[in-house]
Amino acid sequence: MSVLQPRAGNADLSARIEPPLSQTVGYIVVVLIGMIIAFVMMMITKVLTITVGEDNKKTEMFMTANRTVRTGLTTSAVISSWLWSTALLGSGLVGYTYGVAGPFWFAAGCSPMIVFFALLGISCKRKIPEAHTSLEVVRVRYGRIAHIVYMILCLINNIFACTNMLLGASAVIASMTGMHIIAATFLLPVGVALYTFVGGIKATFLTDYFHTVVILIVGCYFSVKAFTYPEIGSIGRLYDLVKAASERHPVAGNEQGTYLTMTSKDAILFGILHLCANFGLVVMDTSYFIKAFSASPAAVVPGYTLGGIAYFAIPWGVGTIMSSVALGLENQPVFPTYPRRMTTSEVSNGLVVPYAALTLAGKGGAAAVVLIIFMAVTSTLSAQVIAVSSIISFDIYREYFNKSATDRQIIHWSHFGVVFFALFSAGFSTMLYYAGADLQWTLYMLGVVTCPGIFPMAFTVLWRRQNTIAAITSPVLGLITGMAVWLGTAQRFHGEVTVSSTGQVLPCVYGTVASAFSPILYSVAITYLAGPQNYDWADFQKERLALEKLGDDLTTGHHNKDNSAVISEEQSTPLKDRTKELKRWGRIAAFWSIATFLGHWVLWPLPMYAARYIFSKGFFIAWLVVAIIWLWGTMLVATFYPLFDGGIQQMRQVYQYWKKRREI
């Protein structure tokens, strides 16, 4: 096991440093900046309603942006969807704990399933184009019992995802500003609720873009600042500092105890854990399906593929640099905790990156981290809020209480869902905080509760044989199996079942793997024992789910201000050719899914693990140079691609509208 293990996060809080920023800064970032962003997004929403007819009083616009979001904005939204506070804080945490292998496995645990979702997304666009949520797909195929089961699983996924984000973000904000951690937990969702309440999914896409750009600019700044800092000066000097840290504090389970190797037993166990957990977070997160349904058919595959590959650089590059800075400078007076090492609580609460930033740039660095953590948590929280809002409005209210619900009624319940879940997620996070949970505990155990539905949900749109009984029972049995293995192994390895023991690496790995893969066996066995289904995919399209007519094709065009469809070149293509085109996108998505997994999980890291290779100075320099170039490339793609792919055109439309108004 590694030197630093997760445990209850509140045990040694008294050992933390004095907050470098005042509480006023914390409240300015969390409340004032949050309100300003919310106000700006509401104004943009109002302008788009007036000028280009994006009416958020219409359900299709509020929930799916009329299914016309282009590749650039989709790419930015995909990157943002995984720019959790966990990604920024957790990658530094595992880098500090395991060395260079930690941030790599963190990144490799995210990118393959983001790209894989392109396959699920395009399959849904082709087979059931009018859907708003993944749960509607389940209900249409398997009926109401399955619908309720998957609804509960998706809500569990959303709740724990939000908790993971809020616990990490509020801990960092409290540590850097002295703001009370519970105040941060409850105030963080306020701005999110405001702009999501007004702007719906399009506001989520726009704030995703803005927040992603700011976060990446700050990340790129630290990628340069680290090597202009006098005590470091160069990548080669950073290598020497990390090598010296390995000699002072060898890592159990790493080749020769060094931080500078991919041969790390605990890191690869974390990689397996993170990969499975993130598959659950993607497949069982209705916000991913909403964004896929919101994207135009031609944007789904390139948007998710490019976004997934670009995202890889963020946890890999930022996590490696900032954790290396913390390890290398921890024994020097410039580091905030000097002369002691960081405590287990500080590490497990995600303070590696904030402490490294404070070292490199003083109070300005601390303020920058507070800002990007705030933006990361609010951006991803917005997606979670809109996801739960869609479940409450479409899958509960419209399905079980008012089948003939109007736009106004559905929007009303969507607004209720936004406010309710923002408050509930803060309350649930507070409960876990007082129970002793922290960022690392939720990061490690997340997969146990998010993974059981992965394969049954994927089979719903990819395998026509899975029958209703298998679809209903396999995720439930998988959850029971995963929980039993998780708690059983905690008792077996640590002699007790507590927050501390259930947050250890091995119980979480065993529990997550059991949760993820046992449903495959249950689904296949039950399907063939009870009799396979031979589902006709055409039956999906018999169900009328959209509140507005989408046209006689598989796409939806842009709408004029009078809500009349603008017939695009894509829509004017014969239906047979459009179906053929979507199948072609499906093959492309399958290829990139396999290629990304093989590249990020097999061909690159495993030979390095097997070779027991310890980084030389030259190799470490090359490793970081590639990571930094990739990180800057991600920043350029996320910043400028959405502008060139429709953003400038839409700004021109707004300008032309106001120009005509002035002439009149």
Averaged pLDDT score across all residues of the chain: 82
Task: Inform me whether the pLDDT recorded for 432 exceeds 90.
Answer: no
**What's the mean pLDDT in 63-70?**
59
Three-state helix/strand/coil letters over 139-150: HHHHCHHHHHHH
Min mean pLDDT across 281-295, 385-399, 461-475 is at 281-295
Note whether 358 and 330 are within 8 A (CB): no
**What's the mean pLDDT in 59-87?**
70
Min mean pLDDT across 94-98, 172-176, 652-656 is at 652-656
**What's the mean pLDDT in 344-366?**
91
Task: Inform me whether the pLDDT recorded for 55 exceeds 70.
Answer: no
Residues in a beta bridge with 559: 565
**What's the mean pLDDT in 646-658?**
65
Q: Which domains are delineated in the chain? A: 13-436+537-663 (1.20.1730), 451-535 (no CATH)
> What pLDDT does 108 receive?
92
Q: With residue 575 as reference, give the H or E element that holds it.
A: helix 575-597
> What pLDDT does 655 receive?
66
Copy the structure tokens of residue 23: 């509480």
> What pLDDT does 658 receive?
67
Task: Inform me whether the pLDDT recorded for 7 exceeds 50.
Answer: no
Note whether 239 and 79 are within 8 A (CB): no
How far from chain centre, in Å, is Cα 602?
23
Task: Inform me whether the pLDDT recorded for 548 exceeds 80.
Answer: no
Q: What percent of the chain has pLDDT over 70?
A: 84
Task: Inform me whether the pLDDT recorded for 182 exceeds 60.
Answer: yes
Copy the structure tokens of residue 424: 């509930």
The predicted model scores a pTM of 0.84
Q: Which residue in the block uniquely carries the two structure tokens 């793997």?
A: 513
Query: In whole angstroms, how large is the CA radius of gyration of the chain?
Result: 24
Copy the structure tokens of residue 122: 């395009």
Q: What percent of the chain has pLDDT over 90?
A: 38
Q: For the segment 299-312, what is each residue's pLDDT rounded down to a tens digit?
A: 888 888 998 899 99
Give the C-alpha separation, 8 to 266, whole Å.
19
> What pLDDT does 564 receive?
39
Q: Is 611 helix (H, G, I), strand (E, B) or coil?
A: coil
Q: What share of the chain is helix, strand, coil (3-state, %, to 5)?
A: 75, 0, 20
Q: For the segment 234-263, what is each residue's pLDDT rounded down to a tens digit?
A: 999 999 999 999 999 999 989 999 999 999
Task: Inform me whether the pLDDT recorded for 102 exceeds 50.
Answer: yes
Under DSSP, the state recorded for 227 is T
74 vs 598 pLDDT, higher one: 598
* Residue 436 Ramachandran class (φ > 0 left, ψ -120 to 50 alpha, else beta): left
Which DSSP string do the residues of 103-122 spell out, in sequence order? HHHHHHTTHHHHHHHHHHHH
**What's the mean pLDDT in 2-6?**
37
The top-scoring range by mean pLDDT among 128-142, 335-349, 442-456, 624-638 is 624-638
> What pLDDT does 578 receive?
64
Sign of CA dihedral 596, 601, 602, 604: positive
Copy the structure tokens of residue 521: 């066996």
Give the C-alpha separation, 657 to 409, whole Å.
31
Note whether 607 and 268 are within 8 A (CB): no
Min mean pLDDT across 48-57, 276-285, 302-311, 629-638 is at 48-57
Note whether 446 and 274 are within 8 A (CB): no
261 vs 589 pLDDT, higher one: 261
Q: For the segment 518-547, what is each residue's pLDDT rounded down to a tens digit?
A: 999 999 999 999 999 999 888 887 776 665
Q: For the segment 191-241, what is each residue's pLDDT rounded down to a tens digit?
A: 666 666 655 555 566 777 888 888 999 999 999 999 999 999 899 999 999
